[in-house]
């Protein structure tokens, strides 16, 4: 975030924007003096090095997926999902840079085009980003037909939520496959 000016600008003249500005300089200072640097994505490495200049000994180490999440993906294989209800899951607290408002808007547009798409937002939030999200949901889904939001959920409960979403997604397929 400290290296994405457009994203930090979403906070306006708020503490978080100032914090990102200070963090950018602290991180630039640290990275330039480090023996090596690990990045989560090539994009992050490229963007950050626009600020720091070329860094020596860099490596991209992607996020891993813990085993408890892998088991929840069984059964998705090669089945065709055309013309089936689509269950989308977004796990994160609401914050300006998380773009949940745009995800709700995209889901609404897909529904207007005839796709049966549902969205479950998990993570809750507070502040302006949460208020904006609530306004967008009320505007685009006033009857609560396709967007649901749950508050923060403990990490150890996330695999169960993912399994529930997959079950809802596969349930119509079970009828077709019988």
The answer to whether residues 93 and 33 belong to one domain is: no
Query: What tens digit of pLDDT does each residue of 75-123 get?
Result: 544 444 445 678 888 999 998 888 899 999 999 999 999 988 999 999 9
Residue 93 near residue 123 (C-beta atoms within 8 A):
yes
Tally Cβ neighbours within 10 Å of residue 79.
12
37 and 125, same domain (yes or no):
no
The pLDDT of residue 169 is: 57
Host domain of residue 40:
5-60
User: What's this model's pTM, rounded to 2 decimal places?
Assistant: 0.60
Strands (E), 63-110: 86-91
* CATH number reported for the structural domain that contains residue 91 in this entry: 3.40.50.2000
pLDDT beneath 70, residues of the chain:
64-84, 166-178
Beta strands in 4-159 (DSSP E): 37-39, 58-60, 86-91, 117-122, 147-150
Listed residue (156, 147, 73) closest to 110, CA to CA: 147
Residues 84 and 162 in one domain: yes
Same domain, 84 and 108: yes
Count CB atoms within 10 A of the CB of residue 129: 20
78 and 43 assigned to the same domain: no
Rounded to an integer, what distance in angstroms lies between the CA atom of residue 119 and that of residue 46?
32
Same domain, 77 and 128: yes
Same domain, 43 and 79: no
In angstroms, rounded to a whole number, what is the distance separating the alpha carbons of residues 25 and 149?
36
Q: Are residues 93 and 131 in the same domain?
A: yes
Going by the DSSP 8-state scheme, the letter that residue 141 receives in this structure is: -
Give the pLDDT score at 106. Answer: 95
Q: How far apart are CA 26 and CA 33, in angstroms?
A: 11
Same domain for 45 and 26: yes
Same domain flag for 120 and 155: yes
- CA gap 8, 17 in Å, rounded: 5
- In terms of domains, do 156 and 76 share one? yes
Domain count, the chain: 2
């Amino acid at each position: 975030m400290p290296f994405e000016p457009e994203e930090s600008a979403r906070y306006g003249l708020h503490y978080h924007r100032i914090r990102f500005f200070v963090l950018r300089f602290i991180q630039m200072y640290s990275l330039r003096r480090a023996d090596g640097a690990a990045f989560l994505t090539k994009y992050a490495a490229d963007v950050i090095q626009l600020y720091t200049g070329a860094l020596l000994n860099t490596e991209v180490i992607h996020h891993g997926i813990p085993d408890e999440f892998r088991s929840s993906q069984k059964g998705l294989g090669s089945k065709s999902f055309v013309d089936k209800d689509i269950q989308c899951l977004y796990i994160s607290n609401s914050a300006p840079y998380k773009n949940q408002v745009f995800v709700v808007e995209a889901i609404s547009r897909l529904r207007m085009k005839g796709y049966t798409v549902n969205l479950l937002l998990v993570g809750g939030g507070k502040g302006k980003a949460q208020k904006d999200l609530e306004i967008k949901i009320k505007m685009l889904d006033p009857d609560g037909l396709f967007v649901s939001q749950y508050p923060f959920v403990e990490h150890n409960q996330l695999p169960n939520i993912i399994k529930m979403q997959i079950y809802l997604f596969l349930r119509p397929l079970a009828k077709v496959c019988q």
